Structure 1
Amino acid sequence: MDQIQAMRIFARVVESGTFTLAADSLQLPKGTVTKHVQALEDRLKVKLLNRTTRRVTVTTDGAAYYDRAVRVLADFDDLEASMSQVRATPRGRLRVDVGSSIARLLIIPHLAEFQARYPDIQIDLGVSDRPVDLIGDNVDCVIRGGELTDQSLVARRVGNLEFITVASPEYLKRHGTPTHPRELEKGHNSVLYFARVSARPYPLEFQKEGELIEISAPSTITVNESNAYTSVLLAGHGIGQITTFQAQPHLERGELVRIIPDWAQLPLPIYVVYPPNSHLSAKVRAFVDWVVELFAGDPLLQRQ
């Protein structure tokens, strides 16, 4: 029995949910798929799958084996991809984690281009604003804003995020348009962003000619996800700060209005980050180069 082939077949059965779908996707006879899974169970002396007439489910031992098998197969694919003959066509499964607004506005709309260029790379796309442990979570690379704190990781700067202060026209009609940050302390409501770990809200920051003003109150709504944060502003709940990248389509449609334009935050650098052991991975290199190209093509992500 080809153990690697058997592991691939077992993983595909788990992912597809039936032997028939797994056989179709692998372009193998159903009998061959069944035979390999049975041989794998005989070799391991454990039951990996519960079979019914319509569907298969994973046993506890099968779930544990699947998790380890996926990692082994990924490492095996990386080993093959490191060979010069495969370097031109990277392949394998790539686990990526991206902030929600970047995912929605930039990565996902262009994924078809990446897949057309690299058809043998399969992407598992994690989307959230929470910090990710690349090693512990078995993630190949992440795209995140902010200065890199873990010096053991490899980081490539791909752009900058410029923040501006905005509110909806309806909110400004009800409360008036402030012209100075201090006016937000009375008669206005700030929409703040809070950290997932500490739940501490980040203040609105305003900088001008070396002066820094932080506004943290009053605030009736705090949010911990960037797309939801924008939605709260669009709904007229207060004044907040989002990136020009997020704000631009809403500004053009008149759904948001920029205010206090002569006060701004410092740009936030964006990095694509990956563990040092992924440095030679052809699939990671392909994705990183594509991300650099993608960010470079958007002037809103390159402002200094």
Structure 2
Amino acid sequence: MDKLQAMEVFVQVVDSGGFTRAAEHMHMPKATVSTLIQALETALSVKLLNRTTRRVSVTADGAAYYERCLRILADVQDTEESLSSSHASPSGRLRVDVPTGLGLQVIIPALPQFFVRYPDLVLEMGCGDRPVDLIEEGIDCVVRAGELADSSLIARRVGALSFATCAAPSYIERYGRPLHPNDLLRHQCVNYFSAKTGNILEWDFAKQGERIQIALPGTIAVNNSDAYMAAGLSGLGVMQAATFALQQHLDAGRLELLLTEWCTDPLPLHVVYPQNRHLSAKVRAFVEWIAELFTDSPALQIAQPKPAGR
């Protein structure tokens, strides 16, 4: 038995929550995964995993062994990368997940430069607005906006999203311009609901110490940033969107800014990854590249969009 390989398989089984997903992530037969775990338990004379027909859970001995395996595997990987002549060029498959709008408008257009720098990486990028479970789904890292709830993950702040209120000219022509956030109670608004909770998000405004947080009426609510933008562009209502996504539409006259004296709370942008991936050269490469990309993108810092024509 290759003890190091068996440790890697054990860690993946624990991270994935089962033999089938571990086998898929490691591109090996499920029978091989099962055989390696059995051999590892025999060699250690302890039971590492509890197995049922529905799930796999780690035993107390298995949990302690898992923590040791993480440190050992991280040390081995770090040592290999520091001694390898090719450590400056990470290789292998990298699985990431990013918000739809950021992926389509900022990250994907810049990927040619990423692959020039890291030609040996193969990127699998999910673009969506739903929350993902990095461990359960075998994802190396994600880019996320907002405050982070899971303290077991490592996060690096790489930027911020600022927001502005706007509407299509067709909507303004029909319903007029709101002059105060409370005026929106008499308007139609495009709402956004959480893919995790199903709750419609409230709108927030601030001006010279005055803060307003309200739920607004609307005939449509969506949970995807592309759908949200499409609804606003179609004149379905007032919208509040990230400035990086608005500017091209403002410049083209497809949207007009509203309530420009009122600002909204910015959302921090983080790259998030599991603790056991923090020494991975490929994750480190992607994190550094994203941080550089966002730093060079003024729209991903705290800023208001320019009015059309300026």
Q: TM-score by structure 1 length? A: 0.74
Relative distance call for 1:64 and 1:170 in structure 2 (3 A) is same
Asked if structure 1 preserves the Cα contact closer than 8 Å seen for 2:203 and 2:216, the reply is: no
Superposition RMSD in Å: 2.4
Which residue identity does 2:230 align to in structure 1?
S
Give distance in 2, aligned partners of 1:96 and 1:63: 17
* Residue aligned with 1:171, SS: helix
Equivalent position of 2:202 in the other structure:
203
Q: Give secondary structure in 1 for the equivalent of 2:288.
A: helix
Counterpart position of 1:114: 114
Which residue does 1:183 correspond to in 2? 183
1:155 aligned partner: 155
Residues 152 and 275 in structure 1, CA contact (< 8 A), matched pair in contact too: yes
State how many pairs are aligned. Answer: 241
CA distance in 2, matches of 1:103, 1:158: 15
**What are the superposed Cα offsets for residues 21-76 of structure 1, whole Å, 9 maximum, x if unpaired?**
xxxxxxxxxxxxxxxxxxxxxxxxxxxxxxxxxxxxxxxx999854442699xx99
Deviation of the 1:182 alpha carbon = 0.8
Q: Look up the equivalent residue of 1:99 and give its one-letter code.
A: P
- Per-residue deviation, 1:303: 1.5
Q: Closer, same or farther in 2 for the Cα pair 1:130/1:63, shift >3 Å?
A: closer
Shift in Å, 1:83: 4.3
Residue of structure 1 equivalent to 2:218 = 219
Residue equivalent to 2:144: 144
- Asked whether the 8 Å contact 2:165–2:260 carries over to 1, the reply is yes
CA distance in 1, matches of 2:93, 2:218: 43
**CA–CA distance in structure 2, aligned partners of residues 157 and 238 of structure 1:** 32
Q: Which whole-Å CA distance do the structure 2 matches of 1:147 and 1:238 have between them?
A: 27
Q: Distance in 1 between matches of 2:284 and 2:290?
A: 10
- Note if contact 1:192-1:216 (Cα within 8 Å) is conserved in structure 2: no
TM normalised by structure 2 equals 0.73
Aligned counterparts of 1:156 and 1:66: Cα–Cα separation in 2? 29
C-alpha spacing 1:159/1:249, structure 2 compared with 1 (3 Å): same
Letter in 2 for 1:114: F
Q: In structure 2, what is the equivalent of residue 13 of structure 1? A: none
Q: Structure 1 211/62 Cα, relative in aligned 2: closer, same or farther at 3 Å?
A: closer
Give the Cα separation in 2 of the matches to 1:65 and 1:265. Answer: 46
Cα distance between partner residues in 2 of 1:278 and 1:152: 12
Mapped partners of 1:214, 1:68: distance in 2: 47
Is 1:240 matched with 2:239? yes
**Aligned residues of 1:162 and 1:303 also touching (Cα < 8 A):** yes
Given residue 180 of structure 1, which amino acid in structure 2 is its aligned partner? H
What is the 5 A alignment of 1:24-63?
none
1:147-189 Cα distance to aligned partner (Å, 9 max, x none): 1221221111111100000100010000001111111111x10
Is the Cα contact below 8 Å between 1:101 and 1:226 reproduced in 2?
yes
Task: Find the partner of 2:27 among 69, 73, 86.
Answer: 69
Provide closer, same or farther for how the CA distance between residues 64 and 260 of structure 1 changes in structure 2, counting only shifts above 3 A: closer
Mapped partners of 2:244, 2:24: distance in 1: 40
Report the secondary structure of 1:158's partner residue: strand
Q: CA deviation at 1:123?
A: 0.5
1:116 offset after TM fit, Å? 1.3
Could you tell me how far apart the structure 1 residues matched to 2:135 and 2:281 are?
Answer: 18
Question: Is contact 1:99–1:127 with CA below 8 Å preserved after alignment?
Answer: yes
Q: Percent identity?
A: 46
Instruction: Flag structure 1 segments of 5+ consecutive residues without an equivalent.
Output: 1-60
Shift of 1:210: 2.5
Alignment of 1:263-274 (within 5 A): 263-274=262-273
Check 1:137–1:70 CA distance in 2 against 1; reply closer, same or farther (3 A cut): farther
> Which SS does the other structure have where 1:250 is aligned?
helix
Deviation digits for residues 74-108 of structure 1, max 9, x if unmatched? x99x9486343132110010000000000011111
Structure 2: gaps spanning 5 or more residues: 1-18, 34-72, 304-310
Deviations 1:248-290 (A, max 9, x none): 0000001000000111111110001111111110000111110
Verify the 8 A CA contact 2:153 2:275 in the aligned structure 1: yes
- Helix, strand or coil for the counterpart of 1:82? helix
